[in-house]
Amino acid sequence: MQDSSLKDAATPMSESAPAAPVAAAAPMLAPVVIRQDFTDGLRLDLNLGVAAYPVFLMEKPAQLLARYMETLIGQQTAERQSLRLNDPKRVILLCDENTAELFGIDIETQFITAGWEVDALTVPAGEQAKTLAVVEQLCEALAALGANRNTVLCSLGGGIMSDLAGFVAGIFKRGMHLAHISTSLVGLVDAAVGGKTAVNLPTGKNQIGLYKHPLAIVSDPSYLQQLPEEDYVCGLAEAAKTALLAGGEFTAWIEDNTEPLLQRDPVVLRELIARCISFKASIVATDPHEDNVPSARLSLNYGHTLGHVIETVTAQQEVPVPHGIAVAQGMRFEARMAMQLVEAEADFVLRQDALLDALNLPALDPVTMGDDFDHIVDIFYRDKKIDNSELRFILMATPGHPEIVTVPREILCDHLRAWLPEHSDSANKEEVAVNGAEGQDAQ
C-alpha cells in the first residue's frame, strides 16, 4: 500500500499529471505550482523558470526522494544532461546534532532500503553552524568521503541546514547535487524554497551566499510534532507574514485556523505548508535571482527590517530574541508605519495584531532593546537592503498589497521613539498619534 502510493507520487510530473487543456489561441504560460493531493500526502511541482522541482509532503520522505531522483537518472536525455545523476546512487546527509539524533537512523535506513549509499555529516545546532569555518570543514569532509559532482548533498533539518547545505553544494567542486529533507516549520514554509543560501559573517547574518536550487524538497509533516515550541511559533510568524502578503482567501484562512495551528493539527499544518510554498514560489518565479531593481522578492522581507535589528541588538543578551519573534514585532512596527506612509487603516493594524496574538506571537517588550537609541538607529543603516543609503521598508495598506517604501530617517526615529517609550518625549508621541499610529500602545 505504502509502496504503491510512493511509486505514484514519485513518478515524473509529465507521466502522472492529468493532461492540460489545450488553449485555443493564446499561448499557455506554465503554471508556477501544480498541486496533486494523495490520500497520504501531497506533491507540489514548482516551476520557478530557472529551476523546476517537486515538493513531497508524505511519510517515508527519504524513500520517496530516492525514487524520485532515480526517475531523473532515467531521464538522462539531451535536455537533462546537466543533471549528471549516475550510479553509484550516493547521498550525503547534512544534519545538526538534534536532527541527527531524532531522524538520522530512520532516514539513512530509508535511503539504504531504496538502494542508495549514504553517509552523514553532523554539525552543531544553531546559527553557529552557518559560518565559513564550518563550510571549510564540511568541504574537507566531503573530499575525504570522495564526494564528487554527482553526489547528492541532502540537508536534514531546518532553515539552518538548508542554508548551509545549499551553500556548500553550490561551491563544492563548483557545484554538486542538492536536496532537502526539511524538518522545521521555518524550513518548510520559507527557507527550503526559493534557492537562496547563506552563511553569516561576524558583522551580520546571511552576508555570504549564492542561489542553488535543490532537485527536490521532501518532508513528513509529522516531524513537526517534535519541534520545540519556540521554533514552532517562529515558523508561524513566517507563515503569518506569508498569509498577509498573499491577502484575500489565505489571510482569512489563517485567521480562521489559529487554534488548530497552535495544536499542530496535521491536516491544517499540511494545508498551511502547501499554501506558503505555493505563494513563495509564485513570488520567486517573478524574479528568481533578484535581478530586477527593486525585486518583487523584497516583499518577502515584510517585518524583517526591524526584525533583523532586534536580532542584532539582542544577539549578545542571555536570551536573544529568536528570528520569528523579531519578525512578528517587525510586522507590528511596519503596520504602524504604514498608517502614516501608505494610508493603512487602524483596522489593518488591529487585525494583524489579533492574528499575531492568536498565534502566540505577543508584542515584544521594548525594554529588551536596551537604551542605546543611536546604536539601534545605526544598525538599521547597516542593513544589507539599503540602496544608496536609503532605508526601505515593506509596507502594506491592506493584506495582499505590499509596497517597497523609502523611509526618511526622521520618520523612522519618530516610530522608534513611539515604540521605545524611554526615548520618547511628548512632542514625538503627539506627532505619531496625529499621523495615525494610535494602535502603537498595544505594543
Ligand X SMILES: NC(=O)c1ccc[n+]([C@@H]2O[C@H](COP(=O)([O-])OP(=O)(O)OC[C@H]3O[C@@H](n4cnc5c(N)ncnc54)[C@H](O)[C@@H]3O)[C@@H](O)[C@H]2O)c1
Binding site for ligand X (CB under 6 A): 96, 98-99, 102, 125-127, 130, 157-161, 163, 183-184, 186-187, 190-191, 194, 196, 205-206, 223-224, 226-227, 231, 234, 323
CB of 264 to ligand X, least distance (A): 11
CB of 232 to ligand X, least distance (A): 9
Q: Which is nearer to ligand X, 73 or 404 (by Cβ)?
A: 404
CB of 299 to ligand X, least distance (A): 13
> Which of 152, 173, 170 lies closest to 209 in space, CA to CA?
170
| Cβ neighbours around 26 below 10 Å, total | 6
Packing angle of the helix pair 304-314, 323-341 (nearest 10 deg): 130
CB of 161 to ligand X, least distance (A): 6
Q: What are phi and psi of 309, to 5 degrees?
A: -65, -45
Q: Which is nearer to ligand X, 192 or 369 (by Cβ)?
A: 192
Return left, alpha or beta for 200; rule: phi > 0 is left, psi -120 to 50 is alpha, else beta. beta
CB of 73 to ligand X, least distance (A): 27
Q: Are 221 and 59 in contact (CB under 8 A)?
A: no
Q: Which is nearer to ligand X, 231 or 334 (by Cβ)?
A: 231
CB of 20 to ligand X, least distance (A): 30
If 0-12 CB within 10 Å is exposed, 13-18 middle and 19+ buried, where does residue 419 land?
buried
Report how far apart, in Å, the C-alpha atoms of 237 and of each of 230, 231, 329 are.
11, 10, 9
Q: Which is nearer to ligand X, 76 or 128 (by Cβ)?
A: 128
Report how far apart, in Å, the C-alpha atoms of 170 and of each of 8, 41, 149, 187, 345 are.
31, 30, 10, 18, 44
> Which of 56, 72, 99 lies closest to 177 in space, CA to CA?
72
Three-state secondary-structure class, residue 332: helix
Q: Which is nearer to ligand X, 164 or 349 (by Cβ)?
A: 164
CB of 129 to ligand X, least distance (A): 8
Three-state secondary-structure class, residue 33: strand
Q: Which is nearer to ligand X, 159 or 439 (by Cβ)?
A: 159
Q: Which is nearer to ligand X, 224 or 243 (by Cβ)?
A: 224
- What counts of helices (H) and strands (E) characterise the chain? 18, 12
Packing angle of the helix pair 229-246, 346-358 (nearest 10 deg): 150
> Which of 299, 338, 311 lies closest to 439 in space, CA to CA?
338
CB of 322 to ligand X, least distance (A): 8
Scored b (16 or more CB within 10 A) or e, 332-365 reads: bbbbbbbbbbbebeeebbebbbebbebbbbebbe
Q: What are phi and psi of 42, to 5 degrees?
A: -150, 160
CB of 234 to ligand X, least distance (A): 5
